[in-house]
């Protein structure tokens, strides 16, 4: 028996070496996870950065070729340049390069760039409707195709001279190129912003920075492991010392008990047979319990105190009249305490109300009109009005659940401290709102309440 108790005393000490092994395994695993996160983060930062340099350069060259083309066409109209000497090959070549650069970015399937790249592709298709026919020069056939594309054939003067390159055709082509170029410029600028944002993210995830943070984390893990080992070792040594002292103390007590005689200890049977309750105890239990008269001063109600604290002195449960008296005599502060501890206890003494449809609609339309509440039948409202000391106080109904669907209404009546959408639901009443009757069945908010989440 003695050996079994000694082993039980030393059993907790066997757990300490296991803690050391588990801690080492946990720290090793944390180091592996940290290294994996570093590698994945580095790979992600490299793959997420779109390279739009090729597209930007191709656009700049294409834009310059279009400007040159527009200038040359103006000179042709002024008869300062022969139409056969106009450089129509360069715009076609630059258009193909720009389209190829755009397709290369689309092939990377970057979701953040896809819409913008598709818009660029649409604009390039429109521009090709003029640039490609010019590839073979300003012939009558090619000019007529461009005039049809631009919708100039509805003009009688152009229709009579279909295929002839004149001022109207040149002006329409210039306006068309300028408008499409503005679209391309806007799309390229948008791509630059996206690329810059990704570059900023990549700078924050720079491999050098990540490596430094990784080394710092490793150092912190090693320091923690060293401190943990030291503290566990100290606890292990202390546990051994305490266990030895316990064994020695137990042995001394056991030896001392064996030397004492058993005559001084009456048997349980004797104790049970000779025990009789004292006269004072009998008189005490026979007396009825006297309840203290209700104090004139207002005291806080604490329903959380259970009657099991002193079963012998538990008074009978108060009836409805006494509860009504307590609530009627309670101050506003005590009313808040009663509400936070047992909300449903106030349901019989409150008027159930809800915000009117008109008030809700006015708020949705952006009106700054104060909220209007109306009396509703039991179970259909969301708030209670409690009349106290000549003032109507407004509190949320006992079973109300505040969520994203009714939060706007609650916010129009109460200041919601610490509310977090989708997370907060439980709250504590800090201050009730105050309302004033605006008619026989309606009330208007005059002072906001406070709820703490």
CA distance 353 to 172: 68
Q: What is the per-residue pLDDT for 248?
A: 87
CB 336 within 8 A of CB 432: yes
**CA–CA distances in Å: residue 180 to residues 136, 167, 363, 451:** 22, 20, 44, 57
Q: What is the per-residue pLDDT for 414?
A: 94
Query: How far is residue 245 CA from its own chain's centroid?
Result: 55
CA distance 90 to 69: 9
Q: How many CB atoms lie within 10 A of CB 338?
A: 21
Q: What is the per-residue pLDDT for 63?
A: 94
Q: What is the per-residue pLDDT for 262?
A: 45
Q: What is the per-residue pLDDT for 8?
A: 56
Long-range (24+ apart) CB contacts under 8 A made by 361-368 are 363/408, 363/412
Per DSSP, 289 falls in state P
Rg (CA), the chain: 44
* pLDDT < 70: residue spans in the chain: 1-50, 199-210, 256-325
Comparing CA positions, the residue from 145, 203, 137, 199 lying closest to residue 169 is 145
CB 358 within 8 A of CB 372: yes
Q: What is the per-residue pLDDT for 296?
A: 35
Task: Name the helix (H) or strand (E) containing 431.
Answer: strand 428-431
DSSP string, 161-214: TTT---HHHHHHHHHHHHHHHHHHHHHHHHHHHHHHHHHHHHHHT-HHHHHHHH
Comparing CA positions, the residue from 208, 212, 209, 206 lying closest to residue 45 is 206
Q: What is the per-residue pLDDT for 318?
A: 47
Sheet with 428-431: list strands edge to edge.
414-417, 449-452, 428-431
Q: What is the per-residue pLDDT for 204?
A: 60
Q: What is the pLDDT of residues 195-246, one digit of tens each?
A: 777 766 655 656 666 677 778 887 887 788 778 788 888 888 888 888 888 8
CA distance 441 to 184: 63
Task: Name the helix (H) or strand (E) containing 125.
Answer: helix 111-131
Domain boundaries, the chain: 2-47+207-244, 53-204, 320-452
Torsion of the alpha carbons at 191, 193, 198 and 203, rounded to the nearest 10: 140
CA distance 9 to 239: 10
Q: What is the per-residue pLDDT for 84?
A: 87
Q: What is the per-residue pLDDT for 130?
A: 93
CA distance 1 to 6: 9
């Amino acid at each position: 028996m003695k050996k079994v108790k000694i082993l039980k005393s030393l059993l907790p000490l066997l757990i300490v070496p296991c803690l050391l092994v588990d801690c080492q395994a946990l720290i090793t695993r944390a180091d592996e996870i940290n290294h994996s996160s570093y590698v994945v983060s580095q790979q992600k930062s490299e793959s997420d950065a779109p390279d739009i340099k090729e597209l930007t350069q191709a656009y700049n060259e294409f834009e310059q070729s279009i400007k040159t083309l527009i200038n040359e066409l103006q000179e042709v109209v002024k008869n300062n340049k022969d139409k056969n000497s106009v450089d129509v090959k360069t715009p076609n070549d630059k258009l193909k390069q720009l389209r190829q650069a755009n397709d290369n970015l689309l092939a990377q399937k970057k979701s953040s760039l896809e819409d913008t790249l598709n818009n660029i592709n649409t604009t390039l298709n429109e521009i090709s409707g003029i640039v490609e026919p010019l590839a073979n020069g300003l012939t009558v056939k090619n000019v007529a195709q461009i005039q049809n594309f631009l919708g100039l054939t509805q003009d009688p003067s152009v229709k009579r001279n279909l295929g002839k390159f004149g001022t109207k055709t040149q002006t329409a082509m210039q306006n068309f190129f300028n408008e499409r170029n503005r679209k391309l410029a806007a799309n390229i600028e948008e791509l630059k912003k996206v690329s810059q944002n990704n570059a900023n993210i990549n700078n924050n995830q720079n491999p050098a920075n990540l490596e430094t943070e990784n080394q710092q984390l490793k150092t912190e893990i090693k320091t923690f492991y060293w401190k943990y080992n030291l503290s566990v070792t100290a606890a292990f040594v202390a546990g051994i010392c305490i266990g030895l002292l316990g064994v020695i103390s137990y042995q001394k007590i056991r030896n001392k008990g064996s030397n004492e005689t058993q005559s001084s200890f009456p048997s349980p049977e004797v104790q049970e047979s000779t025990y009789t309750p004292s006269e004072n105890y009998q008189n005490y239990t026979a007396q009825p319990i006297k309840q203290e008269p209700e104090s004139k001063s207002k005291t806080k109600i604490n329903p959380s105190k259970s009657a099991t604290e002193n079963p012998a002195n538990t008074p009978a449960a108060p009836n409805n009249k006494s509860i009504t008296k307590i609530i009627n005599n309670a101050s506003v502060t005590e009313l808040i305490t009663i509400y936070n501890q047992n909300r449903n206890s106030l349901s019989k003494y409150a008027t159930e109300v809800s915000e009117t449809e008109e008030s809700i609609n006015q708020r949705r339309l952006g009106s700054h009109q104060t909220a209007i509440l109306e009396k509703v039948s039991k179970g259909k409202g969301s708030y209670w009005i409690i009349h106290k000391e000549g003032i109507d106080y407004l509190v949320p109904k006992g079973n109300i659940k505040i969520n994203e669907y009714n939060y706007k209404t609650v916010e129009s009546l109460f200041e919601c401290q610490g509310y977090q959408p989708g997370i907060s639901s439980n709250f504590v009443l800090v201050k009730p709102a105050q309302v004033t009757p605006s008619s026989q069945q309606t009330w208007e908010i005059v002072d906001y309440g406070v709820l703490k989440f």
